[in-house]
Amino acid sequence: MRGEEEMYRLILATARQDPLVRAVILNGSRANPNAALDPLRDFDIVYLVTDVAPYKEGDISSRFGEILVMERTDESELYGDHLPDCAVYLMQFSDGNRIDLTVARLEDYEGYCFDDRLSIVLLDKDKALPPLLPPQDSTHWVKQPSRRIFEECRTEFWWTAPYVSKALLRGQLSYAQNHLETCTRAMLRLMLGWLAGAEHGFQISAGKYGDELEKYLPPGWWERYLSTYSPCLRREVEEALFRACGLFQEATQAAAKELGFPYDGLLDQQVIIFLREVYPKISQLPWAESWDGEIERQISLFGGPPLPKGGGNLETNGKDGL
């Protein structure tokens, strides 16, 4: 594996030899004086250039080493991305190094220098960039929420938790697991971040997906958070859901106290009871006779076109849809 010094020399030599590149900026964890030092960190690099077109139309990745896999995220049909003013090369090299290279217009330097305080100028050929403050991670600190955002987080958590429960009752394990991760647990992580931020003057970073929260949460809470992850099995996901509900309830109460927001806990209690008692009973109810042929009946009443052949499948889909 090429060492750190060798990689920096390569990055800067490539920039010096290219007349279109006028400046080089380092962002990310390697610019963070508080980040853990390990060889797995990416090199987050910005080349500021006088003309982006050659880098969008061509491919400069071979200048940096043997590529294992590369992704160009400035133009992506998969995600529908189109970034006309920059080129983005995400390069994983066979030797283990990784460079996330953004090639941007020189006139757009402010966004790359000031929007992220983790920025260091490595090269400025024309001495055109303003001096930067010493790098620090304040732009990544947990932001103090307004009361409205706090309440919207609560509502989103308790609104999405029943989707997880409903999917489990239908045997839709993949949907339940995905919804627990992307919706319900995301709000739990946000609330835990606010609690940790409030207790430390909102001068901490929660890290990526909350990976720094372990240092700031009350004893035992990080382990409780990790217990909301589970294998994709019905009972395990259900238990993880209720552990998430209990932890979210406690975190909300503690965060509300720290932030000076009112909290009565009624919503939390009602939804947990609903999940434990009401939804399981609903799932056991027999289909009402009136539901049979529902779609055809609505079409006949309101004049819609007839169902296509095989339209009976819509009734089945109605049962499975969330």
Is residue 311 pLDDT above 50, yes or no? no
Could you tell me if 190 and 71 lie in one domain? no
Q: Residue 184 and residue 162: Cα distance in Å, rounded? A: 10
CA 271-156-252 angle, 5° bins: 70
Could you tell me if 179 and 243 lie in one domain? yes
pLDDT (0 to 100) of residue 290: 67
Q: Residue 104 and residue 55: Cα distance in Å, rounded? A: 9
Assigned token pair, 125: 């050929």
pLDDT band at 29 (very low <50, low <70, confident <90, very high): confident
Could you tell me if 127 and 198 lie in one domain? no
DSSP, residue by residue, 217-254: SPTTHHHHHHTT---S-HHHHHHHHHHHHHHHHHHHHH
pLDDT (0 to 100) of residue 314: 40
Could you tell me if 181 and 108 lie in one domain? no
Q: Residue 28 and residue 43: Cα distance in Å, rounded? A: 8
Domain that holds residue 154: 141-283
- CB within 8 Å of 70: residues ≥ 6 apart: 61, 89, 90, 91, 92
Q: What DSSP designation does 1 have?
A: -
pLDDT (0 to 100) of residue 312: 46
Could you tell me if 23 and 130 lie in one domain? yes
User: Domain of 150: which CATH number?
Assistant: 1.20.120.330
Could you tell me if 272 and 301 lie in one domain? no
pLDDT (0 to 100) of residue 192: 97
Could you tell me if 117 and 213 lie in one domain? no
Mean per-residue pLDDT over the chain, rounded:
90
Could you tell me if 309 and 222 lie in one domain? no
User: Domain of 55: which CATH number?
Assistant: 3.30.460.10
Q: Domain tally for the chain?
A: 3
Could you tell me if 204 and 244 lie in one domain? yes
At 77, is the secondary structure helix, strand, or coil? coil
Could you tell me if 28 and 59 lie in one domain? yes
pLDDT (0 to 100) of residue 208: 87
Q: Fill in the amino acid letter for 131.
A: P
Q: Fill in the amino acid letter for 218.
A: P
Bridge-based pairing state of the strands 86-93 and 81-82: unpaired
Q: Residue 241 and residue 276: Cα distance in Å, rounded? A: 11
Backbone angles phi, psi at 74, to 5 degrees: -80, -20
Could you tell me if 298 and 222 lie in one domain? no
Per the CB < 8 A criterion, the answer to whether 216 and 199 are in contact is yes
pLDDT band at 164 (very low <50, low <70, confident <90, very high): very high
pLDDT (0 to 100) of residue 87: 95
* Listed residue (36, 221, 231, 34) closest to 134, CA to CA: 34
Instruction: List, for residues 177-228, the tens digit of each pLDDT value.
Output: 999 999 999 999 999 999 999 999 999 989 888 989 999 999 999 999 999 9
Mean local confidence (pLDDT), 127-150: 88
Instruction: List, for residues 36-81, the tens digit of each pLDDT value.
Output: 778 888 999 999 999 999 999 999 999 999 999 999 999 889 988 8
As a 3-state breakdown, the chain gives helix, strand, coil percent values, each rounded to 5, of: 50, 15, 35
> Can you say how many angstroms the Cα of residue 101 is from the centroid of all Cα atoms in its chain?
20
Q: Residue 283 and residue 162: Cα distance in Å, rounded? A: 13
Report, in angstroms and rounded to the nearest whole number, the Rg of the chain calculated over CA atoms.
26
Q: Which of 139, 164, 196 is the last residue of a domain?
A: 139
pLDDT band at 300 (very low <50, low <70, confident <90, very high): confident
In angstroms, the first-to-last Cα distance of the chain is 49
pLDDT (0 to 100) of residue 313: 44
Continuous segment of H or E residues that includes residue 183? none
Could you tell me if 154 and 125 lie in one domain? no
Distances (CA, A) of 14 to 49, 60, 62, 65, 184: 13, 10, 11, 12, 45
